[in-house]
Amino acid sequence: MFENRSIAIIGLGGNLPFQGSPTATTLRQAIEMLAQPAMVIRSVSRFYATPCFPAGAGPDYVNAVAVLETMLPPGQLLDRLHAVEAAFRRERVQRWGMRTVDADLLAYDQLILPDLARQSQWRLLPAQEQIRATPDELILPHPRMQDRAFVLVPMLDVAPDWVHPVLQKTVRSLCDALPAEDRDAVCPL
């Protein structure tokens, strides 16, 4: 369809209603907003109920993953994701805080951005530092996707054979490496 197209994988989640709508409805609306002339939604995972992270910080989440075909370069795609979040009044008050919609660019083709050293630095950041530190640049693939059942379980629906360009493992093998209790806590709606 596109002359210069790329495949992007987007993680979506939320745990707050928007204008009285349940979170799953809000996520469906956010996915619909992503469709535009420069982006085609190729597949969307099932929606999953996932425990709030960190535990006890608020209501449980609804999460999904979408695969897009896009002509937008990564930075512009990220801007589009932020515009969708803003349309649903996403507020960035607290890192990993409650939100109506969160849209993360998980992967873009097999790009490693900004480079292998910076991606690895963020991927290997200790858990305590992850809470306090936020990158000031786009890091691809998402530096913590391999650690998150709420990302990998929905990704199994739409991209089980996608290979992480740094770790050289498929989504299926990354998911299998997670603790069983983490995977089991992500339940289809």
The tens digit of pLDDT for each residue in 41-92 reads 999 999 999 988 667 777 888 999 999 999 999 999 999 999 898 888 766 5
Residue type at 25? T
Residue 79 lies in a domain: yes
Contact of 101 with 89, CB cutoff 8 Å? no
Total domains, the chain: 1
Residue 76 lies in a domain: yes
Residue 14 lies in a domain: yes
Residue 170 lies in a domain: yes
- What's the CATH number where 130 sits? 3.30.70.560
Residue 1 lies in a domain: no
pLDDT bin (cut points 50, 70, 90) of residue 2 is: very low
Residue 163 lies in a domain: yes
Kindly give, in sequence order, each residue whose CB lies less than 8 Å from that of residue 63, ignoring residues fewer than 6 positions away: 11, 12, 13, 47, 48, 50, 150, 151, 154, 186
The tens digit of pLDDT for each residue in 171-188 reads 999 999 999 999 999 999
The tens digit of pLDDT for each residue in 119-174 reads 999 999 887 787 777 788 999 999 999 999 999 999 999 999 999 999 999 999 99
Single pTM value for the model: 0.91
Q: Which domain holds residue 76?
A: 6-188
